[in-house]
Every structure is written in C-alpha cells, then in structure tokens.
Amino acid sequence: MPKNPLPPLTIRYNGIFDFDRLYAMVVDWAKTYNYFWLEKKHVHKVRSGSVEQELSWQATREATEYIRLVVDIAIRMWDLKEVELEVAGRKRLLSNARIEIKISGKVEYDWQGFAEKNPKIIMKWLGKIYPLKTEIPDEYFIQLYSKLVNLHSLMKQYFDMQSKRNPFS
C-alpha cells in the first residue's frame, strides 16, 4: 500500500482560545468535504503543575476504490490552563495554552490490498481505468493539498492569525 505524503502545514499559537469550538470546526470541515473522522490519540499529562495534551486526529475519504485521501492532524498543547471568562454576557471556560498544530496529508493507493490478493485482476482493472503509468494522476494530490490549505486557513482565521485585508488592495 504505497503512500505519497504531502508537505505538512504548521500553526503555532500562544494565548486564550476555545478548544471545543476548534474541535467542532475541524469536525464540521471533515463532514462538509465528506471525510470520515477518527480521533486516534488523546494523551493528557501532568508534569510538576504544568498540563500537556497530545491529540491525533485523522480524516479519510475514498477518491476511488483504489485511491484514498488521508488528512492527519497532530495537536500538542502545553502550559494548559482553564480560564473562566465572560463572553457575550455568559461565563465560559476557555483554554490558555501554547498550541502547535501540524496538518499533513497523503494519497494512499491500493489501501484495501486488492493488488496483493489478486494481482492479475487488479492490473487488468487498472489498465482500463488508468493509462499505464508509474504515478497516480496529479489531480488527487492537487485536490488533497487544496483541502489541506483550506483547513489551514480556517484554523488561522479561528486563531485570528490572518490579515483582515488583502495586501495588494
């Protein structure tokens, strides 16, 4: 099952944020683009009064029976503290922490193992669908990378890390 990874995108932020809203935003993004959502890892550590969390999320979507698009999101928060603030007249629990988010993606092909089980059938089937090439068409990489950039910009907007104006206007 070959995998072709794309370059990762990173966000680093230090301050107050609503983690529940961030989580809901990412899950909503996955549902909007028909990705299957999975929370792979959740580690909560307390070290000498400092709280650290590590999270790993994965969103997958089948492009074809043979090709699958995978988005991996790794989140690391440290110096995490819960802060109660009044927002719009209501008291809410928010997080104050340093956070690093890495968004990476990969295109997996033969993710169901068809070629291992039936090599002759799969090669005949692939020959009908794709011309004989050693590479996957670029459309899947472009499609996945555009979704990664979209998610990255949504997160930057959430953390208010994007410019409000176009620099060329």
Tens place of pLDDT per residue across the chain (169 aa):
456 788 899 999 999 898 999 999 999 999 999 999 999 999 988 888 788 999 999 999 998 877 889 999 999 999 888 888 887 788 888 889 999 999 999 988 777 776 667 666 666 666 555 544 445 567 888 889 999 999 999 999 888 876 555 554 4
Structure letter (DSSP) for residue 69 = E
Asked if residue 97 is part of any domain, the answer here is yes
Which of 62, 55, 69 is CA-nearest to residue 101? 55
Backbone angles phi, psi at 77, to 5 degrees: -120, 135
Asked if residue 129 is part of any domain, the answer here is yes
Asked if residue 61 is part of any domain, the answer here is yes
CB neighbours of 90 closer than 8 A, spacing ≥ 6? none
For residues 90-99, one letter each, b for 16 or more C-beta atoms within 10 angstroms of the residue's C-beta and e for the rest, the string is eeeebbebeb
What amino acid occupies position 57? W
Backbone angles phi, psi at 42, to 5 degrees: -145, 110
* Other beta carbons less than 10 A from residue 9's beta carbon: 19
3-state secondary structure at position 138: helix
Asked if residue 136 is part of any domain, the answer here is yes
Contact 105, 144 (CB under 8 A): yes
The predicted pLDDT at position 65 comes to: 79
Task: Give how many domains the chain has, as a whole number.
Answer: 1
Domain span at residue 109 reads: 3-158
Asked if residue 80 is part of any domain, the answer here is yes
Asked if residue 164 is part of any domain, the answer here is no
The predicted pLDDT at position 1 comes to: 45
Asked if residue 169 is part of any domain, the answer here is no
The predicted pLDDT at position 77 comes to: 93
Asked if residue 81 is part of any domain, the answer here is yes
